[in-house]
């Protein structure tokens, strides 16, 4: 399976020592750049990710940072090993400096290399649905479904997952990566290539904690409900309150904590 590799390992237990090979998740660099195909070109730096679905990863990243507003703006992808250049024909030269990154983004950091997060916080998406609600029992069953579909995690225990579900708890899209923000970008990129209207009547479940980058990416896409197996950060909650998102944390074992947007979660 793409994104996996085997390495020598030694297991030490009270019963003794066993030698063999273990399957782990790959973490590799991907160099990103954007061009209008002629006179404008700039770098988005290097991001560390799990190989696989790289086009979706880059598409989601460009959308979340406001470089594109739709998939149709992308003319082409130039792929050369660990480098991807995205051709976006209508790049505005006056805003190129807003998008430059200065260094490497690690797998645990979605905004590393950015000089400021203020530009991100001013990027908006479609109006969030105020009528979309979901039953807490459906969220509970969706968590089990997401876990059953985490193929990379099943083999390695080393990846995060991001799942998009409809109102009935059906899994629409799933993505995995060693980085939480990468998993989100891959999912957003996958949906954008179909129709971003899918986001308006669906919700997302994350396999780990909920940071502000993930809330920003969801807000940008038009997702109104975010559910996390772990805890949200203070800034994640602040952004959710400001923009009207629903944040649910510690969703496991048929229980959950609703932090913001409580009216969207129904307890039947």
Model confidence over 64-96: pLDDT tens digits? 999 999 999 999 999 998 999 999 988 866 666
What distance in Å separates the CA atoms of residue 150 and residue 162, rounded to the nearest whole number?
A: 9
| pLDDT of amino acid 97 | 57
Query: Which residue numbers are catalytic?
Result: 109
What angle is formed at CA 101 by the lines to CA 95 and CA 102, rounded to 5 degrees?
130
Q: What share of the chain is helix, strand, coil (3-state, %, to 5)?
A: 30, 35, 35
Q: Please give the average per-residue pLDDT across 167-171, as a whole number.
A: 95
CA end-to-end span of the chain, whole Å? Answer: 41
Question: How much is the pTM?
Answer: 0.89
What distance in Å separates the CA atoms of residue 217 and residue 117, rounded to the nearest whole number?
A: 13
Q: Please give the average per-residue pLDDT across 139-159, as a whole number.
A: 95
Neighbours of 61 (CB within 10 A): 25
Rounded to whole angstroms, the maximal C-alpha distance in the chain is: 65
Given the structure tokens 């083999």, which residue do they identify?
Answer: 155
Q: How confident is the model at residue 7 (pLDDT cuts 50, 70, 90)?
A: very high
Three-state secondary-structure class, residue 239: helix
What distance in Å separates the CA atoms of residue 50 and residue 53, rounded to the nearest whole number?
A: 9
In the structure encoding, which two tokens stand for residue 106, read together? 């690690």
Given the structure tokens 């080393």, which residue do they identify?
Answer: 158
| 41, 46, 110, 262 from 85: Cα distances, Å | 9, 12, 19, 42
| pLDDT of amino acid 27 | 96
What angle is formed at CA 107 by the lines to CA 11 and CA 114, rounded to 5 degrees?
160
Q: How confident is the model at residue 141 (pLDDT cuts 50, 70, 90)?
A: very high
User: In sequence order, which residues have a C-beta less than 8 Å from that of residue 7 and are 6 or more positions away?
Assistant: 21, 22, 24
Model confidence over 114-136: pLDDT tens digits? 555 556 666 777 889 889 999 99
What distance in Å separates the CA atoms of residue 214 and residue 25, rounded to the nearest whole number?
A: 22
Q: Domains in the chain, ordered, with CATH?
A: 28-121 (3.10.20.10), 134-266 (3.40.140.10)
**Could you write out the DSSP letters of every residue in 156-225?**
HS--EEEEEEETT--EEEEEEESSHHHHHHHHHHHHHTT-GGGGGGEEEEESS-B-HHHHHHHHHHT--E
């Amino acid at each position: 399976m793409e994104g996996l590799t085997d390495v020598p390992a030694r297991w030490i237990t009270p019963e003794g020592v066993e030698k063999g090979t273990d399957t782990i998740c790959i973490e590799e660099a991907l160099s990103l750049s954007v061009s209008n195909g002629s006179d404008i070109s700039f770098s988005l730096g290097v991001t560390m990710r799990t190989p696989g679905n790289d086009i979706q990863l880059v598409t989601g990243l460009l959308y979340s940072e406001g470089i594109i507003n739709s998939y149709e703006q992308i003319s082409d992808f130039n792929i050369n090993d660990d480098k991807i250049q995205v051709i976006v024909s209508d790049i505005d030269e006056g805003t190129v400096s807003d998008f430059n990154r200065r260094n490497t983004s690690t797998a645990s950091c979605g905004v590393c290399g950015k000089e400021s997060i203020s530009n991100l916080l001013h990027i908006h998406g479609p109006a969030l649905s105020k009528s979309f609600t979901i039953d807490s029992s459906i969220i509970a069953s969706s968590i089990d479904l997401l876990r059953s579909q985490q193929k990379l995690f099943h083999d390695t225990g080393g990846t995060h997952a991001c799942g998009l579900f409809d109102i009935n708890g059906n899994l629409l899209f799933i993505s995995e990566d060693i980085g939480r923000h990468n998993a989100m970008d891959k999912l957003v990129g996958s949906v954008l290539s179909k129709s971003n209207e899918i986001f308006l009547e669906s919700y997302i479940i994350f396999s780990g904690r909920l940071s502000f980058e993930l809330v920003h990416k969801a807000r940008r896409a038009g997702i109104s409900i975010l559910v996390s197996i772990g805890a949200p950060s203070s800034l994640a909650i602040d952004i959710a309150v400001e923009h009207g998102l629903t944040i649910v944390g510690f969703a496991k074992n048929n229980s959950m904590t609703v932090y913001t947007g409580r009216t969207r979660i129904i307890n039947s």
